[in-house]
Amino acid sequence: MKVWLDGKLVDKADAAINVYDHGLLYGDGVFEGIRVYNGTIFECDAHVDRLFDGARAIRLEIPLTKAETVQAMRDTIEANKLVDGYIRLVVTRGVGMLGLSPFKCTCPQVFVIADSIQLYPAELYENGLSVIVSSTVRNHPNALNPRIKSLNYLNNILAKIEAVDAGVQEAVMLNPQGLVAEATGDNIFIVTGGELITPPLAAGTLAGITRAVVMRLAREAGIELRQTNISRYDLYTADECFLTGTAAEVIPVTTIDGRTIGTGKPGPISRQLIQAFRDYIKRNT
Ligand code: PMP
């Protein structure tokens, strides 16, 4: 595999980052995880926009234009003959001193990794995931806003550890107010009384690219959709629940903290949107 690093395509074994890079020392940087379907970068502009917005929020100047960033991804796809897979686009603060100040780091690093993707087994799309609600709350937006897809994922990793310890695949994270924010690497939706509900971005959640597509598809299908706060009780008593994300796409959830959601099988709106999302990929790649 070839990695795009600082303008060059290098072998995976040679793709190295300096130990003084603040991306490594402090998790100082931003990234995107992006799907490639049929050789096409899925929702390319939305990912690039989110990367640049996150960088702006942390005062990180990406040393490429948006067009150059897209070209770097295209070159990586081409060099690896990637047809269906995943690309990881990363911008680190670059090499600096051991102190925190990012202003001593003069050369942000950009790299692009192309790889195959680890998918959930097909069976889970038929039967649904089991998840827990983690005791680790999502970062407070005034500490590290979850809208910034930063290289510091420790908050999510701590919740993921709870999920693995509990023998399930994912954890739902609440915000500091005790309301549902998102899962460790996915956004969350519930269906209650025929209405589709997802927490607003203000609940402390990433503006997921998959979330945005699913919301659009739901509106087009005439499904009632509301962005409103949901509590743990709303999760437990929902008729349906599903997660959305680049890797998982749209995946149903049928157990939360040992409570069966709805009938225990993915419900009709979840199934409709899983199909609509698959059709959307086919139409757009
Ligand atoms: N929330 C978090 C915390 C994430 O890391 C991700 C991406 N893996 C998502 C939501 C889903 O976002 P997207 O649909 O853009 O992949």
Q: What is the pLDDT along the chain (285 residues), one digit of tens a residue?
A: 999 999 999 999 999 999 999 999 999 999 999 999 999 999 999 999 999 999 999 999 999 999 999 999 999 999 999 999 999 999 999 999 999 999 999 999 999 999 998 889 999 999 999 999 999 999 999 999 999 999 999 999 999 999 999 999 999 999 999 999 999 999 999 999 999 999 999 999 999 999 999 999 999 999 999 999 999 999 999 999 999 999 999 999 999 999 999 999 999 999 999 999 999 999 999
Q: How far apart are CA 31 and CA 3, in angstroms?
A: 15
HSE-up (13 A, CA, CB side) for residue 19: 0
The C-alpha atoms of residue 144 and residue 54 are separated, in whole angstroms, by 11
Question: What pTM, to 2 d.p., does this model score?
Answer: 0.97
In which residue are the tokens 């499904």 written?
A: 223
Ligand 1 site, CB within 6 A? 33, 156, 182, 185-187, 206, 208-211, 244-246
Four-way CATH pick for 122-284: 3.40.50.720, 3.40.640.10, 3.20.10.10, 3.40.50.300: 3.20.10.10
Give nearest CA residue, ligand 1 atom 4. 185
Q: What are 256's strand-pairing partners?
A: 131, 259
Q: Hey, where are the domains in the chain?
A: 2-115, 122-284
- 2-115 folds as D-amino Acid Aminotransferase; Chain A, domain 1 (3.30.470)
**Which CA distances in Å does 277 have to 23, 113, 150, 216, 264?**
34, 25, 26, 10, 22
